[in-house]
Structure formats: structure tokens, C-alpha cells
Amino acid sequence: TLRFVPMNASIRARDLFDQQQERLGLSWIAGERGEHRVLEAVDTVARRPSLAGYLNIIYPNKVQILGTEELAWLDALDAGQRTETIEKIIRFRPLAMVISKGQPCPDDLRSAAEASDTPLWGSPRRGHELFNHLQYHLARKLAPRLTVHGVFMEIYSIGVLITGESGAGKSELALELVTRGHRLVADDVPEFTQIAPDVLDGACPDLLQDLLEVRGLGILNVRNMFGDTAVKRNKYLRLIVHLARPQPQQTPQTDGYERLIGDLGSRRLLDLDVPMITLPVMAGRNLAVLTEAAARAHILRIKGVDPAAAFMARHSHFLERAAS
């Protein structure tokens, strides 16, 4: 079951300032009443402006950075052009404007920001540092995201999402994997963010950090029970292991090819097709060992090692030799 987070993910000017203040040495110059100004993810979809960039009044950025060259360009304008340009910048309602390298703020820019409640910040950092940090931070905060019902773990250094119907044994399997030295990322509702075209980053909501619910035992704090090495804050998703319980009076039907390669498939999450392997849940099966084997086999496939293909090639060679 997929539970999509609403696509109107957003960030306030005050939140961005607080999150980056220490790292970028930000100070609030003017327009502090605009701290509730909001940038929503929908504002960044299919639009020409970028999230952050140097001053641009043709394709305005959401966060306008004013470096030495930008301030010098403003100073070169005559009084009428300068006033009109500043008004145009303000009219685009950027989330914030940032003056780099601790440069003095022009009085008319300060007055315009204060009058329009446009956040105006200063920073001792150079323009490219501001651009890199703010662009990266905003892109992650506003990236497409979803939550999936399951348990997300790190197994043999790769992120593995364990899914299945309620009562299939996902949490019990996760607990056994933790005791075998693997690490828990999130139980029940891991959050996945598409931070790059081919990367889904999974993490745990703050409310559920380090917690694992096991039927009969209740909620367990994995960090307290097994130590700091038993949990991990986030991980890239590489594989889905789906636990499927055979339905009553249903006889599993598998052809010879599936028995060779396993029940392999994929699952669409956001814009990515994530490899998925389905493991039948039946009495007497050691799911922890099977899940570890699935992770190891996936790592080998990534490296180009395919035992099924090698076996079929060996079988064909054997038939050719027998025929000759």
C-alpha cells in the first residue's frame, strides 16, 4: 500500500533561515515580518526560475543572491532605472534575498525590503557557497516524496524495503535481521524522497525514530536494546523484498524459468522502477536467511554476476556437446 505525501511540500522563510543560519552565518537585515513567506514545491514544477541563484530579473530565482557584481550593476544604473529594477525584484515576491561577502546593504534596497516584508539576509560567505548550499537544501526539502507501508533496513550495505500485508511478519523479520547485525532505518512508515533522477533516499519520521513495533512485545527501542550501530538515519533504496502469504486453496504455479531466476519484478515508486523480489511466507522457511540471500544476489546482479544466466549458458553448452 502506498501512502503519498501531498505534493504541496513547502518551506517558510523563517525555517530556511533557522536551518542555514549557523552554516552560512546568516543575519536578518530587513523584512523580518515576511518570515512566514512560503515557497511550495508546486511553484518549482515546470518553471524556468531556479530555487536559488544570482540576481535575475528576467527569470527570477526563488532565493535571489546579490554578490559583488550584482550590487555593482545596480550602482551603475541611473536613479530611475535603479528604483524600477528594485521594485521589479520585490514584485516577483522571492522567498528571500541574500547579500554575500558581508557587503553593506544599499539603503534603498533595505527600505524596499522592509516596506514589502521581503526577507533580506546578509552572509559573510561567497556567492557560490550560498548558491550551492541553498540550492541543495531547497531541492531536498521540496523534492517529491512518499511514504510506504513497510520496514526499511540496511542489509549488507544496501537499502532494502520489506513490504507485505499486515500480519505477514515484517517487523519480526526486521527484529531477527537486527540481531544478525543489520541496521534498522524505519518501521511502518518510511519516508522516501527522490533527491536525484535515479536515487530514492529513505528515512524515518522523527516521531518513530529508533522504534520497532513487534506483535506480542509492543514497541521496542532498537537503539537502546542493541546499541547505536543497530540503527541508521537514512539510506538509498536499492531493493524491495515483498512477503506474500499464499491464499487458502491456492496452489502456487511457477514455470521453470521463474524457478531459475526467482520471483523477480519491479515496483514503481515516484519516477523509479525499484527491483523487487517476492518471498512466499510459509511455515518452516527462514525468512531472515532468504532476505540476506536476496540482498547478496542483488549485489552480485549489480556487479554483472547472474547465476541463472550462467547456468543456462552451461546447460546450452552441455546440450550442444551431447548433440555433437
Give one DSSP letter per residue of 79-98, joined into a string.
Answer: HHHHHHHHHHHHHT--SEEE
From its phi and psi, is residue 2 left (phi > 0), alpha (psi between -120 and 50) or beta?
Answer: beta
Determine which one of 125, 170, 182, 242 is catalytic: 170
* Rounded Cα–Cα distance for residues 299 and 102 (Å): 49
CB 122 within 8 A of CB 96: no
Exposure string of 38-64, with b = 16+ CB inside 10 Å and e = fewer, is ebebeebeeeebbbbbbbbeeebbbbb
Q: How many CA atoms lie within 13 A of 174 on its CB side?
A: 34
| Residue 82: closest CA among 94, 71, 68, 67 | 71
Determine which one of 12, 149, 245, 267 is catalytic: 149
* Rounded Cα–Cα distance for residues 269 and 285 (Å): 29
Q: Is 188 a catalytic residue?
A: yes
* Rounded Cα–Cα distance for residues 186 and 151 (Å): 6
Grid coordinates standing for 273? 522502477
Residues 6+ apart with CB under 8 A from 274: 161, 200, 237, 238, 239, 240, 266, 267, 268
**Within a 10 A sphere around the Cβ of 153, how many other Cβ atoms?**
28
Q: Is 36 a catalytic residue?
A: no
CA angle, 296 then 277 then 207, to 5°: 85
Q: Is 149 a catalytic residue?
A: yes
Residues 6+ apart with CB under 8 A from 56: 49, 64
Determine which one of 36, 91, 128, 259 is catalytic: 259
Determine which one of 145, 187, 188, 210 is catalytic: 188
Q: Is 259 a catalytic residue?
A: yes
Q: What is the dihedral of CA 209, 210, 212, 217, to 10 degrees?
A: -120
Active-site residue set: 149, 170, 188, 259
